[in-house]
Amino acid sequence: MKWGIPRNFPGLLQRLDIREIPGPRFDLADLVLPVALVDPGDSPLQANAVPPVIGAPFSAGELVGPVAGTRLADTGQLAAGTYWFVFTIAGNTGTNDFRLGRRNAADAAWVWSQRYFNPVNSPLWVGPLRVTLAANERLAAEVVTNFAGTSQANLYVAAV
């Protein structure tokens, strides 16, 4: 099958203000590559991201007044690989200061973590994010400063 330049192609190039570049000429090959040209006059091309399907949460459940160092959620050891994860937390009173991150295989240190502050009565959602874990590493969330009141956190994880 032979492919040619569509009749309206030069007009599209002109509307997009694409001009010939001085130098060697080019010829069309019989290779078709998908390309999207979006005319600035039309509505933008939109891509819809579909969140991953994730199963039951890892959670310590509802905790009343958890103290510093309490695990809010912990996946336990996971096989090496790449995972999607989503973290949610909510509480009814006080200020929630916690850490979310990746723990080493011995569960003795944070490989990386991010500290979050969650004000009273404000649910927080983190993700979906992707993370690559080494063998037996885990994802966990832990209280940094004592919480007042009741709170619950959930950590949803799925292999990519």
Q: Which amino acid is at 26?
A: F
Domain ranges of the chain: 62-159
Contact present, 79 and 160 (Cβ < 8 Å): no
What are the residues facing 155 on neighbouring strands?
58, 87
* Of 12 and 126, more confident: 126
- Mean pLDDT check: name the lowest of 40-44, 58-62, 85-89, 121-125: 40-44
- Mean pLDDT check: name the lowest of 14-18, 34-38, 60-64, 70-74: 34-38
Q: Structure pTM?
A: 0.66
Q: Which residues are CB-neighbours of 98 under 8 A, at least 6 positions away?
A: 72, 89, 115, 116, 118, 141, 142, 143, 144, 153
Instruction: Tell me which fold the domain 62-159 belongs to.
Output: Jelly Rolls (2.60.120)
The confidence score (pLDDT) of residue 51 equals: 64
What is the number of other CB atoms lying within 10 angstroms of the CB of residue 78?
19
Residues comprising the chain, all counted: 160
